[in-house]
Amino acid sequence: MHIGLSESDYPEIRNVALFSEVADEQFRRLLRGAYVQNFPPMIELVTEGDQSDFLHIIVSGSVELYSSWNNRETSIATIRPISTFILAATVKDAQYLMSARTLEKSRIILIPSQDVRAVFDEDYHFARAIVTELARCYRSSVKSHKNLKLRTSLERLANYLLRQQTYHNGRSDFDLDLEKKRLASLLGMTPENLSRAFKGLQAYGVLVNGNRISITNSDDLIGFAKPDPLIDDFNT
Amino acid sequence: MHIGLSESDYPEIRNVALFSEVADEQFRRLLRGAYVQNFPPMIELVTEGDQSDFLHIIVSGSVELYSSWNNRETSIATIRPISTFILAATVKDAQYLMSARTLEKSRIILIPSQDVRAVFDEDYHFARAIVTELARCYRSSVKSHKNLKLRTSLERLANYLLRQQTYHNGRSDFDLDLEKKRLASLLGMTPENLSRAFKGLQAYGVLVNGNRISITNSDDLIGFAKPDPLIDDFNT
DNA sequence: CCATTGGCTTGATAAATGTCAAGCGCCCAA
DNA sequence: TTGGGCGCTTGACATTTATCAAGCCAATGG
């Protein structure tokens, strides 16, 4: 199951922002102890509460970060290539705060956490990249917090759709890349409520047909959703 | 209003975890451009959307981080000495995502963001400390996210009270260190609802008298609140 | 092919939370 | 001293959201 990385994988990993500036020697050291694995869908990669052994990098597929308490479960984020996840636990050498599972067949690189910390200590560019990535994750968590506390579920859905539309280059039609029940959990509501919320957005020109979304009147939807770069932009 | 730092302030600042390991030369450089100011209560120190000019360190008093959207406002955290805030915007050279205001008369040190970034580039220990602090902030934001999505308002209040009790060394009586309306906002509810939530916790041995809280039966309250280190511990 | 499963939707209902209005009590400044 | 403002509480009510039960439909596997 565990397969060492081959040199042919290296260029791809170099493309991950975290590693693009690392000195060659340190880069090789990072990958020397690394594994790459292909996972089927719905495999639990990480369990909250466990000690952080590996930094994970998703190369293809998709991964859901989620968390449980008292028999309830909530989706916290979906991760798509190419990206790392659970970096904070790795740098702090602490317990995972979230669990992670594959949603589809996914290819994941695992780098031993201790190697990440060691290279952090030796390579300035890597340290800089880690700080940038951590700051990005932190800020994105704060945005998510604002989204949850300042908006109703209908507003969260409306803004989610607008973000998806942007992601699809502004097309008026696009497919949801997530099961609706997971989207509901991500947005902090029940699947039943999500169904009703989609109905509620018909009044603002949103048509739903299975996974297909059509936004017939962007201005109308924007008028309702009031998107805000300090909540909805992933890059600020 | 702006007052340069004097050398007598240095030892105090050294105690901030972020600076404890910085080389002396870099430490002096950081503080050379810094200011210290005393602010009255309810002064807006930082406005969301503004560019990050200074890293803030609170030396005494208390500061509320909050955010607004569409005429709604929510409290996100309260910061107490000695601690920094809004570090992520500083290291990313980005816009503030939250506003900050003093709650009481507070003493704040302001270090130009560019100096922070410059010293980060030169001093390894400082870089390490920034990463640790960022990871801590990120993880605390994730905990807060879990708290909001996995728990009802009554459960959030119950766990808040248990955390406060721990902070007060487990005493059965202690004072809230926050106005109730701010606590309500922090916990994601209205002041009216907080009043009723306190009533609802009477059944688990919580007595409220003004700002005074008495927890007459910790086990009972713990049984209801089900505190979880992965949500409620600040140090993991 | 059929039966089963799981995701999704819908309606009815319940629970949680918010809103509005009123009143109490405390603090502070005129 | 007193009047107003503000924080807090309470009650009545509205809205939002969740829960439960049933049914539809598409995908899947025997």
Average pLDDT of every residue of chain B: 95
The confidence score (pLDDT) of residue A9 equals 76
Query: B236 vs A188: CB contact, 8 Å cut-off?
Result: no
Cα A118–A120–A122 angle (5° rounding)? 75
Q: Kindly report the bases of strand D lying within 7 A of a protein C-beta atom.
A: 7-12, 16-21
Give how far Cα B162 sits from Cα of A234, B184, B216, B229, Å: 35, 16, 12, 12
Residues 92-131 of chain A within 7 A of strand D, judged by CB, are none
User: What are the sequence ranges of the domains in chain B?
Assistant: 3-148, 151-232
Do B94 and A226 lie within an 8 Å CB cutoff?
Answer: no
Instruction: Inform me whether the pLDDT recorded for B189 exceeds 90.
Output: yes
Percentage of chain B exceeding pLDDT 70: 98
Q: What pLDDT band is residue B1 in, cutting at 50, 70 and 90? A: very low
pLDDT of residue B17: 87
Could you read off the pLDDT of A125-175 as tens digits, one per residue? Answer: 999 999 999 999 999 999 999 999 999 999 999 999 999 999 999 999 999
Residue A3 confidence (pLDDT) = 66
Q: What pLDDT shows up at residue B3?
A: 65
Nucleotide D11 C1' to residue B223 CA (A): 31
Nucleotide nearest to B154 (CA to C1'): C16
Q: What percent of chain B has pLDDT over 90?
A: 90
**Is A3-148 assigned to CATH 2.60.120.10?**
yes
Please calculate the CA angle A229-A150-B47 and round it to the nearest 5 degrees: 55
For residue B4, give the H/E element and its range.
Answer: strand B3-4
- Kindly report whether the peptide bond that precedes residue B109 is cis, defined as omega within 30 degrees of 0: no
Of A48, A121, A131, the CB nearest to B91: A131
B151 and B41 Cβ atoms separated by less than 8 Å? no
Average pLDDT over residues B204-226: 97
What is the fold, at CATH topology level, of the domain defined by B151-232?
A: Arc Repressor Mutant, subunit A (1.10.10)
pLDDT-derived band at B28, boundaries 50, 70, 90:
very high
Mean pLDDT of B150-168: 98
* Residue A33 sits at the chain B interface (C-beta within 8 Å): no
How far: B193 CA to D10 C1' (Å)?
Answer: 11
**B17 Cβ under 8 Å from any chain A Cβ:** no
Token pair, residue A201, equals 């957005």
From the list B114, B122, B115, B190, the residue with the least C-alpha distance to B157 is: B190
Residues in chain B: 236
Q: One fold for both A3-148 and A151-232?
A: no
What token pair was written down for A219? 């201005």
Residue A72 has pLDDT above 90, yes or no: yes
Give B178's contacts (C-beta < 8 A, 6+ positions apart). B78, B103, B186
Mean pLDDT of the B105-118 span: 96
Decide if A18 contacts A62 (C-beta within 8 A).
Answer: no
DSSP H helical segments within chain B, as ranges? 10-14, 24-32, 87-92, 113-122, 124-150, 153-167, 180-186, 191-202, 218-225, 229-232
Q: How far is A178 from chain B (nearest CA, A)?
A: 19
| Mean pLDDT within B57-66 | 96
* DSSP assignment of A77-93: EEE-SSEEE-HHHHHHT
Question: What order do you get walking across the sheet with A212-215 strand by strand?
Answer: A173-175, A212-215, A206-209
B60: pLDDT strictly greater than 60: yes
